[in-house]
Amino acid sequence: MGILGQGTVGDSGASGVERQRKILVAEDSSITQDLLKLVLSQRGHRVDIVNDGNEALEALVREAYDIALLDFHLPGLDGVQVVRSFLAQSGGGLRPWFVAITADVEGLLAHEENCESFDKVVPKPVDIQEISRVIDEAGHHEQPVQQPSPKKDPATSEAFSQPELAAAPQPRRVRVASALSSKLFGDRTFVRWPDDFDARNLSGRALQAKVQQGNVDALLIEEPATVADLERVWEVAGLHLYPVIDLTGTLGEHADIDCSKLAANETDAVFDLIESFHDKRARIHPDAARSENLDEKILGRMFIADAPLRPTYDGAAPSIVRYNILLDGQSVINHAAKLVEAGFLAPKFFDRVHVCGGCGSSQFNVREECPECRSSDLKDELYLHHFRCAYQGPESDFRHGDDLVCPKCRKELAHFGSDYDKPGTMIVCNSCAHTTSEPMVGFVCLSCGQHTDGDAIRTRDISRYALTDKATGFLEAGNAFLGFTQQTLRFADLPLDLVVALNDQAKRFNEDGTPFALLDISYQNAREIDREYGPRQFFQLRELFLENLRNVLANDVATAGEARVVKGQAFDFAMLKETKPDMIRQQIGLISAKASEPLRLDLGVTVTVFGPEDLS
């Protein structure tokens, strides 16, 4: 994402902004304030900042905002109280699109007051891309003010009730044995189907934030569901990396465990599954965990589940197979083909099936047909051989009442063995009367009705798929394992305070040409060190390298301004103020070598230097 050019951080590019929106930011963190203001301002919006809940309420009453970004734990009135108070004081008209920003999603959902008036929940630390998506989603939402419902006693009413909605009949709940239920639900936190997927509930609108914060143990299926019902699992970032626990027994191989078949004393299997997924999630690289590409999500899911993609027969599916993942069989086959070609999956033959050339289905009626008219209305009939004239034909051609008369020479056939014999049977078509000794084989697609001759039908191999070493390397080490070199800075990788500092430097460069350099630091040998010596060893080496780098930049490199080293999640960074990037590029090899010299293991440090001209 561009940082320089017409503006600075947050330039939305060619897409632009449909219209300017008036946004209120209520946040007591100065870093978050600065970050939100600079990004939203660069997108063309008008942004007002307040520091506490009382100021937020005053601003909302005083001016009409399109969107209000409210921190949940504000000084004075908290975010929920601000919204309730505003709705209570408003006399009708339009209300803002209310967005809760919080590091305590569970606390927000459990708030004693009704908090359903929030339209979205965004977790901390703030993800700029997520904020941008929320602003775009708010779009032209113009909502009439609704009076808040009175505070209810949680002991006598359901949490998060919605008085503005007509009461709907309660969905049927699947019964779970009480012993299993109490043990399973003890101290675990679940994303629940269908409740947490319902956008009418705050828990549904907060689903992304809940998963993003990691406050989840598993996806719990509490009512019968199909793979199509659960498509949103792949849309919620990171949710595919959690185990699927089926209480209904309807998902079959698509779930990781079927609790409907577990006895009350077998629930340790559920806990073992949750812990196994937790341990594997700790090993997956942020590049893979945060990927929005479905192919990479499938790889991540296979890695976390520690299982290959296994096909089983499913007569109800057009592909006639299903796989042990929350995707239909055809989708798995299509995506797996691309991943095999890219070297990420290794196929192993399972079966060969026929495929309709019209719709791709493998559901067929396979039948014997007439070679002339393709009718399947066929019958078997004995055929006779008249010795005298050598005529052969079906018995019905010879039959005249109780007598047999040759249709060729009109002689009566009186004696079997001397006048005629019956050497076999032939196939007779009742539609066109054609006779043949061998019918054709035809395929009629049960999905679209297309007919295909047996000698023209396509086939496809169904395979079992396992991760290759290349896939495992990518999942554990990220894009660096594939030899990718960052040519552009990935905005999402930058810590928030560094984004603010970078924007300040960009402004100075635009105003008076003051140079700066940003170092993007990655570690090519991280995966090997983690595998051979453990993650703690890599963590310690990384910390030591960064400390050495701070000393080298401060004492051994002639930089004109301040040098600041910042640790990120997947990458680390160094901001060099008032420093020409070309000068640093000439010295970067020496800088990296000096900082690495005391380390007992080689981190494989790679440093990319960005200057103002690279970030435009």
pTM exceeds 0.75, yes or no: no
CA distance 212 to 450: 46
User: Residue written as tokens 């409907």?
Assistant: 260
CA distance 220 to 230: 11
Dihedral through CA 59, CA 63, CA 64, CA 65, nearest 10? -40
Nearest one of 606, 533, 528, 615 to 572, comparing CA atoms: 606
Residue 512's pLDDT is 85
Whether residue 407 contacts residue 391, with contact meaning beta carbons closer than 8 Å, is answered with: yes
Residue 550's pLDDT is 92
Which token pair is 563? Answer: 């040098």
The two counts, helices (H) then strands (E), for the chain are: 18, 28
Residue 163's pLDDT is 32
Whether residue 442 contacts residue 427, with contact meaning beta carbons closer than 8 Å, is answered with: no
Tell me the pLDDT tens digit for each residue of 200-229.
Answer: 666 666 777 777 767 788 999 989 999 999
Listed in sequence order, the residues at least 6 apart from 414 whose beta carbon sits closer than 8 Å to its beta carbon are none
Distance of CA 450 to the CA centre of its chain: 34
Residue 360's pLDDT is 92
Residue 575: φ, ψ to 5°: -105, 120
Residue 100: φ, ψ to 5°: -90, 130
In the chain, where does the domain assigned CATH 3.30.70.270 lie?
483-615
C-alpha distance across the termini of the chain, in Å: 9
| Number of other CB atoms surrounding residue 71 within 10 Å | 25
Whether residue 145 contacts residue 94, with contact meaning beta carbons closer than 8 Å, is answered with: yes
Which token pair is 2? Answer: 């561009």
CA distance 222 to 228: 16
CA distance 384 to 390: 10
Residue 559's pLDDT is 62
Q: Letter for the amino acid at 61?
A: V
Decide: helix, strand or coil at residue 396. Answer: helix
Tell me the pLDDT tens digit for each residue of 20-56.
Answer: 789 999 998 887 887 788 788 877 788 999 999 999 9
- In this structure, are strands 399-400 and 403-404 parallel, antiparallel, or unpaired? antiparallel
Residue 470 to residues 303, 335, 338, Cα–Cα distance (Å): 12, 17, 14
Residue 485's pLDDT is 39
In the chain, where does the domain assigned CATH 3.40.50.2300 lie?
22-156
Whether residue 383 contacts residue 393, with contact meaning beta carbons closer than 8 Å, is answered with: yes
Nearest one of 510, 521, 586 to 550, comparing CA atoms: 521
pLDDT < 50 stretches in the chain: 1-17, 140, 144-182, 484-487
- In this structure, are strands 451-453 and 458-467 parallel, antiparallel, or unpaired? unpaired
Q: 483-615 adopts what CATH topology?
A: Alpha-Beta Plaits (3.30.70)
Residue 558's pLDDT is 66
Which token pair is 446? Answer: 């049960």
Q: 22-156 adopts what CATH topology?
A: Rossmann fold (3.40.50)
Residue 154's pLDDT is 39
Residue 296's pLDDT is 94
